[in-house]
Amino acid sequence: MALSLLVILVCGAMLWRQRRASQARATAVREIVDENLPPEDFQGAVILVCGDNSPLFVSGSRHRETRQGWYLWVKDAEQLPLLAQHLSLVRPALASQISVMLAVVPEQHTSGDDFTQSLRSWQRAVVQCRAAFGTIPPLWTVTWVSPSAACVEAEPVWFTTVSQRTGIQVYQPCQGNMSLTEWTRETGSDGRLSRLSQGLWLDGLLAWQNSAVNDLLSVRQGELPVMKPCVQGMCMVPVSGIAGNLWQQHITAVTALPPDAAVTTGPLPLPELLLPALPRRRGVSRRMVFWRYAGLLGGIFLALAMLASWMNNQRLIRNVGDHLALYHQLTGKPVAPKLRAQQRLRADGTLLDDWARRGEPLCYRLGLYQGLRLVPPVEAAVSDWAPPPPPPPVIKKIIQGPKTLRLDSMSLFDSGKSALKAGSTRMLVNSLVGIKAKPGWLIVVSGHTDNTGNPKLNQTLSLKRAEAVRNWMRDTGDVPESCFAVQGYGESRPIATNDTPDGRALNRRVEISLVPQANACQIPGKTPASSQDDGASQHNGE
């Protein structure tokens, strides 16, 4: 989120800055319309004419087109870098053909200091063109002065310096280039005086050019680098000048005779002969500019995407690493924290395994995915520990008490008697149907009375009644006597109060119970039965 916001802010700032720059360029170059600019496919040189450029253009014209070049008039030093930037945007393919020509017309200046300041301003403007072209464009100088009065040449004479090896070359229309020495010797006696005069005139011009222009450009001043003109040209042609101009001052200082001022109406000749000698750089077409911007934006996007992918992978490594570190720090006592840490690692392993099979998300790709190297340590950590098994379940075994059957004594015996009454057999059969002899179980027959009468007699009576029931069960059910135990408790174990007739009736009873005993009732061919085989039951006789 923060990265996206940063990208939006940077793009907004760049758009705002570009808009401001576009407005400034539009204001500065509003006098340059598209008709003044060369077409995109123009093959000749494109020259930004600076300095004393007014005499080179017809009044109201902002450009001059020739077979070899396209000359653009630059209003002032402030307009030059803006015009250069405008050209780099609207005519990027012509950037390699653009050069800056410094036009020098000394006959239009009267103050040397003003001329120097103007030259410095143009020098600074040329350096500022580096922002538009990526480098300082080629700079060349051309100087126009009026010839001497002894000159009989009708055509302008050009003196050029293209390289130190060739020296000064002289060019006249229809005659081509020749060295200065050959040009001086070529003509007859009448023309020789004129050319000798022009040679002396040239010496004076070179002296002034070196002191006023070349020396200034060859000295570094502050942020201004040394700027050596790649080509220099000097043209002797009638130039309209003002009284007391710099050229007159220079000639007067040398000869003490001021030259005459010329009057011309047409524009000065253009230095066409110098255009082939201008250096060329590699141009950039609109398509190349488009692809450069596209590549730049694509590179920025790719860099941001790789940065985001790297950050996501680092976050993944850090999270899984933290889970592993916490898991290894826990000893397993208590079990719950380490079990939770193990479950978290299992979730990490499941996620990494799913990504390995189906492919990781886009935010982890671009060749930076680190999840594969996290799988082995996660799997090793998950498999090196297991929680201890749970304790065996506690089985609660309910051991039932002895099975007890209660018989009403009054239903079996007459009052005070221990012999079974006639007709009690049916009740005994119905009541004792569930009482069976089993190995390991003892049939306990106990008699009880109420508290009426003598306690000792009651105890004896209860014992005899228990024996009577035992004897009936032994004889009737063919149960060995070893399976029985007989007890008489008398009135010692009441189950109800003896204060009421109903309570005393409940206390007069015979109880038959099955009690587990390992060595009891050993019947051949039968194994002892578990106490769980029988449930508790209760029957009250009538």
Under a CB-based contact definition with an 8 Å cutoff, are residues 352 and 375 in contact? yes
For residue 327, what pLDDT is reported? 86
- Strand-by-strand arrangement of the 509-516 sheet: 403-408, 509-516, 441-448, 484-490
Structure tokens at 499: 């204060």
Residues contacting residue 535 through CB under 8 Å, at least 6 positions apart:
400, 403
For residue 191, what pLDDT is reported? 63
For residue 7, what pLDDT is reported? 66
> What separation in angstroms does the CA of 352 have from each of 283, 320, 347?
52, 10, 9
Confidence of residue 401 (pLDDT cuts 50, 70, 90): low
Distance CA 478, CA 223 (A): 136
Query: 491 or 439: which carries more pLDDT confidence?
Result: 491
- Across the chain, mean pLDDT equals 83
Q: How many other C-beta atoms are found inside a 10 Å radius of the C-beta of residue 106?
A: 26
Query: 18 or 190: which carries more pLDDT confidence?
Result: 18
- Reply yes or no on whether the pLDDT at 397 is more than 80: no
Query: 10 or 107: which carries more pLDDT confidence?
Result: 107
Confidence of residue 434 (pLDDT cuts 50, 70, 90): low
Query: Of the candidates 147, 158, 143, which has an alpha carbon nearest to the alpha carbon of residue 53?
Result: 143
Query: 441 or 100: which carries more pLDDT confidence?
Result: 100
Angle at 50 between CA 272 and CA 270, to 5 degrees: 20
For residue 129, what pLDDT is reported? 92
Q: Which of 340-344, 384-388, 391-395, 527-531 has the lowest mean pLDDT?
A: 527-531
* Region class of 329: left (phi > 0), else alpha (psi between -120 and 50), else beta: alpha
Under a CB-based contact definition with an 8 Å cutoff, are residues 190 and 197 in contact? no
Q: Which residue has the tokens 């040189």?
A: 45
Confidence of residue 245 (pLDDT cuts 50, 70, 90): very high
Residues contacting residue 97 through CB under 8 Å, at least 6 positions apart:
42, 43, 44, 45, 46, 280, 283
Confidence of residue 141 (pLDDT cuts 50, 70, 90): very high
If you write DSSP's letter for every residue of 88-100 in order, what string do you get?
Answer: HHH-GGGGGGEEE
Distance CA 356, CA 428 (A): 83
Q: Which of 43-47, 80-84, 336-340, 418-422 has the lowest mean pLDDT?
A: 418-422
Q: What is the pLDDT of residues 166-181, one digit of tens each?
A: 788 988 877 778 888 8
Distance CA 57, CA 520 (A): 145
Under a CB-based contact definition with an 8 Å cutoff, are residues 412 and 452 in contact? no
Q: What is the pLDDT of residues 184-194, one digit of tens each?
A: 777 655 566 77
CA 278 and chain centroid, separation: 50
Give, for 456, the enclosing helix (H) or strand (E): helix 455-477
CA quadruple 495, 498, 499, 500: dihedral, nearest 10 = 70
Q: What is the pTM of this model?
A: 0.54
Query: Of the candidates 80, 81, 76, 72, which has an alpha carbon nearest to the alpha carbon of residue 132?
Result: 81
Q: Which residue has the tokens 């194994």?
A: 527
- Reply yes or no on whether the pLDDT at 1 is more than 60: no
Decide the pairing of beta strands 232-236 and 176-179. unpaired
For residue 206, what pLDDT is reported? 93
Confidence of residue 256 (pLDDT cuts 50, 70, 90): confident
- Reply yes or no on whether the pLDDT at 437 is more than 80: no
The correct answer on CATH 3.30.1330.60 for the domain covering 403-533 is yes
Mean pLDDT to the nearest integer, 94-113: 93
For residue 105, what pLDDT is reported? 95
Q: How many other C-beta atoms are found inside a 10 Å radius of the C-beta of residue 406?
A: 18
If you write DSSP's letter for every residue of 284-306 in order, what string do you get?
Answer: --HHHHHHHHHHHHHHHHHHHHH
Q: Which of 142-146, 149-153, 187-191, 285-289 has the lowest mean pLDDT?
A: 187-191
End-to-end CA distance of the chain: 93
Structure tokens at 174: 């229809």
Under a CB-based contact definition with an 8 Å cutoff, are residues 169 and 271 in contact? no
- Reply yes or no on whether the pLDDT at 467 is more than 70: yes
If you write DSSP's letter for every residue of 205-265 in order, what string do you get?
Answer: HHHHHIIIIIHHHTS-BTTBPP---S-EEEEE---B--TT-HHHHHHHHHHSSPPPPB---
